[in-house]
Amino acid sequence: MRRPVARNLAVLAVSAAVVSVGAAAPPSSAPPRQKVPLAVGYGGAVASVDADASAAGIEVLKKGGNAVDAAVATAAALGVTEPYSAGIGGGGYFVYYDAKSRTVHTIDGRETAPLTADSHLFEENGKPLAFADAVSSGLSVGTPGTPATWQKALGEWGTKRLGTVLRPAERIARQGFTVDDTFRSQTASNETRFRYFPDTAKLFLPNGGPPAVGSTFKNPDLARTYEELGRKGIGTIYHGDLGKDIVATVDKPPVDPASGWNARPGKLSAQDLAAYRAKPQAPTRTSYRGLDVYSIAPSSSGGTTVGEALNILERTDLSKASEVQYLHHFIEASRIAFADRGRWVGDPAFEDVPTKQLLAQRYADSRACLIKDNAVLTSPLAPGDPRHPAACATGGTAAPTTYEGENTTHLTVADKWGDVVSYTLTIEQTGGSGITVPGRGFLLNNELTDFSFTPANPAVHDPNLPGPGKRPRSSISPTIVLDNQGRPVVALGSPGGATIITTVLQTLTEFLDRHLPLVDAIAAPRASQRNAARTELEPGLYNGDLRSRLEAIGHSFTPNPEIGAATGVQRLPGGKWLAAAETVRRGGGSAMVVDPAP
């Protein structure tokens, strides 16, 4: 777990023929960008999963943009190169540190259910739909929040116009990007359902199948969409022609009749788009080891759950613990925090979410005493009551953690003025709903499947049932850590559905407590416990001796080939920044700085 990675690690680039959308084109002379997971230097930094996207953010920083401008540029580029994870058909959560005031601000850009939705949205003939039937349907599509998030962030804290920061992404969409193994494999895994929708198949299955590794993938429809969005503003989505196209696609999904697929129509309306707002709100704040940890408040459960787990771990000196005891306490703190998340967290516009109480050290202490060094808690563990903390209480009714799609994406940005952005955006699972808006070049989300289809436990109120205009609960956890003078220490986040919370928690503790370099904390093999009978382990832990030593305490495990794909930035002395990304997961990530240090 402690072996450092080489600083010059890069993913080998491949060269091949160029492929346009649906047709071959002449070979390209420009080599693909290499991915490097670690960069140190001045002038600002960007870390994302994709080299072209990170370069888009760096381009904006070099032209005088700040961290907010660069974050939007990077996100828009990810909508081109990582279209199965993010795009203007989805939503996300934006966390911003303002260096001048030394304050943290956030935007909830989560998708919303239609105003006509109720708690039975995913029931049919009195029974819940099968998850697979709900995903690839108009019924799963929430009102997109990403464009509103971009405009809100730029309007509040940016220095550039939307059209200006969209230009790098527009150029990538028009000129194309090099297909890698991850893009091809994600396309191949979605091939069957992509064929249900002719517009999706035409775009993402050029020449009848997944694009070849090393080919160049172009998306001229998305280039035109970005150009229109930059020229007309987000009103074209929430009040205009692009919005009309989205509504028509959701309410009558364009299905290939020969496929036999029942793409159930959604209930999205022009009124839903017009009513949508990206919500500025206060961040969550947790004190940990003398540092202030800021993240996103509900509707995401990320800030409260990571924060509660950190508070549970506060009384344990993880820096001196053995590897076994470190992982044991990390796993148990995660189990407890997830038990409380499932009972208490939902959209605060609809639910009475005790955010302050969940983040109270007094409550964490009442839960931490459940953890024993030589025994394992059973799952699903019953939640506590943060409004009335009782030491080591084991009452209440347990509920399992519901499924969330895992293929989100995260980016982290810093600028030369010291501003920082930690931003996670998503269309839910890999490929979202699978439905492409005809002629527009982007996939629609399946975010509404993050709701509970029926109560997770019929005996207890479920705060995550659908409702009119309600935001489904998320696990997204973009995080910024400040020192006692209000200056950034580190910022990070990850994709991965519900595993986002455990990934962020483990990366933070590996970095802050175990003192791993940030890139190594990101690369370390992961465990994820989400109030389940078994803890998921990546191969680096599952195939090692730590597993048997943890099993001797009473833990049970199941393998997971890959958990999360984090990125982060770290402030160094003298105006220097370190950007870090994955070394292997998702084919490795891309860290860049404006002016590399010698």
d(CA 526, CA 523): 9
| pLDDT computed for residue 14 by the predictor | 26
The predicted pLDDT at position 15 comes to 28
- Residue 56 within a domain: yes
- CB of 406 closer than 8 Å to CB of 499: yes
**Looking at this protein, which amino acid is placed at residue 377?**
L
Contacting residues for 216 by C-beta, under 8 A, at least 6 apart: 18, 19, 20, 25, 28, 176, 177, 178, 179
* pLDDT band, residue 23 (cuts 50/70/90): very low
Q: Please compute the mean of the pLDDT values over residues 401-417 and round it to a whole number.
A: 85
Range of the domain at 254: 18-280+403-596
pLDDT at position 368, please?
97
Beta-strand relationship, 567-571 and 38-48: unpaired
Cβ atoms of 255 and 128 closer than 8 Å: no
Question: Residue 406: what pLDDT?
Answer: 63
Q: Per the domain annotation, does 348 fall within a domain?
A: no
Helix (H) or strand (E) holding 24: strand 23-25
- 138 has pLDDT over 70: yes
408 catalytically annotated: yes
The per-residue DSSP string of 369-412 comes to TT--TT----SSPPP--TTS--TT---S---PPPP-----EEEE
In a domain, 318, yes or no: no
Radius of gyration of the chain (CA): 22
Task: With beta carbons less than 8 A apart as the criterion, state whether 40 and 131 touch.
Answer: no
Query: Are the C-beta atoms of residues 251 and 265 closer than 8 Å to each other?
Result: yes
Which CA distances in Å does 464 have to 107, 282, 300, 426?
20, 21, 11, 19
Read off the pLDDT of residues 308-359 as tens digits, 9 standing for 90 and up.
Answer: 999 999 999 999 999 999 999 999 999 999 999 999 999 999 999 999 999 9
Given a cut of 90, is residue 598 above it in pLDDT?
A: no
- Give the mean model confidence (pLDDT) for residues 68-89: 98
Q: What whole-number distance in Å separates Cα of residue 335 and Cα of residue 199? A: 42
Confidence of residue 405 (pLDDT cuts 50, 70, 90): low
What whole-number distance in Å separates Cα of residue 438 and Cα of residue 200? 8
- What's the length of the chain? 598
Q: What percent of the chain has pLDDT over 90?
A: 89
Whether 351 is in a domain gets the answer: no
Q: Specify the pLDDT at position 4.
A: 33
Do the Cβ atoms of 27 and 18 come closer than 8 Å?
A: yes
DSSP string, 251-296: HS----GGG----------HHHHHH---EEEPPEEEEETTEEEEEP
d(CA 20, CA 197): 19
| pLDDT in the model for residue 401 | 73
564: tokens are 């999360």
Dihedrals phi, psi of 363, to nearest 5 degrees: -70, -45
Using pLDDT thresholds of 50, 70 and 90, give the confidence band for residue 5.
Answer: very low
- 435: DSSP letter: P
Burial of 221 (0-12, 13-18, 19+ CB in 10 A): buried
Specify the 3-state DSSP secondary structure of 588. coil
Strand partners, 443: 436
Residues 46, 39: Cα–Cα separation, whole Å: 9
Q: Minimal CA–CA distance to 566: which of 155, 37, 132?
A: 37
**Greatest alpha-carbon span in the chain:** 69
pLDDT digits (tens, 9 = 90+) for 156-215: 999 999 999 999 999 999 999 999 999 999 999 999 999 999 999 999 999 899 999 999
pLDDT at 396 (0 to 100): 75
Q: What is the mean pLDDT of residues 350-378?
A: 97
Q: Model confidence at 19, in pLDDT bands (50, 70, 90)?
A: very low
CA torsion, points 205, 27, 164, 281, in degrees to nearest 10?
A: 40
d(CA 355, CA 304): 7
3-state DSSP assignment of residue 416: coil
pLDDT at 8 over 50: no
Number of folded domains in the chain? 1
Contact 409, 85 (CB under 8 A): yes
Q: Is the per-residue pLDDT at 395 higher than 80?
A: no
DSSP for 129-197 reads: PPHHHHHTSGGGPPBP-HHHHHHHHHHHH-SS-HHHHHHHHHHHHHH-EE--HHHHHHHHHTHHHHTTS
- Catalytic-labelled residue, pool 408, 426, 449, 583: 408
- Is the torsion defined by CA of 133, 138, 139, 141 positive or negative? positive
pLDDT at 1: 32
* Stretch 438-464: mean pLDDT: 92
Cα 565 from chain centroid (whole Å): 9
The whole-angstrom separation of Cα 161 and Cα 317 is 47
**Helix axis angle, 146-157 relative to 67-81, nearest 10°?**
160
Average pLDDT, the chain: 93
Burial of 6: CB neighbours in 10 Å, binned 0-12, 13-18, 19+: exposed
Average pLDDT over residues 363-369: 97
| Higher per-residue pLDDT: 32 or 503 | 503
CA distance 48 to 404: 21
pLDDT band, residue 397 (cuts 50/70/90): confident
Q: Which residue has the tokens 């739909």?
A: 129
For the segment 466-476, what is each residue's pLDDT rounded down to a tens digit?
999 999 999 99
23 vs 20: CA distance, rounded Å: 5
d(CA 231, CA 225): 10
Per-residue pLDDT tens over the stretch 89-122: 999 999 999 999 999 999 999 999 999 999 999 9
Residue 361 domain-assigned (yes or no): no
Percent of the chain with pLDDT over 70: 94
Q: What is the 3-state secondary structure (H, E, C) of 84-132?
A: CCCCCCCEEEEEEEECCCCEEEEEEECCECCCCCCCCCCEECCEECCHH
Domain assignment of residue 557, yes or no = yes
CA 463 – CA 357 distance, rounded (Å): 16
Phi-psi region of 260 (alpha: psi -120 to 50; beta: other; left: phi over 0): left
| Residue whose C-alpha is closest to residue 413's, from 169, 96, 159, 158 | 96
Residue 30 confidence (pLDDT): 59
Indicate the pairing of strand 535-537 with strand 557-559: parallel
Query: Is the predicted pLDDT of residue 17 greater than 80, yes or no?
Result: no
CATH code, domain carrying 186: 3.60.20.40
Residues 425, 410: Cα–Cα separation, whole Å:
6
Say what angle helices 302-313 and 323-344 make with each other, to 10 degrees.
140
Within a domain: 118: yes
Query: Does residue 7 belong to any structural domain of this protein?
Result: no
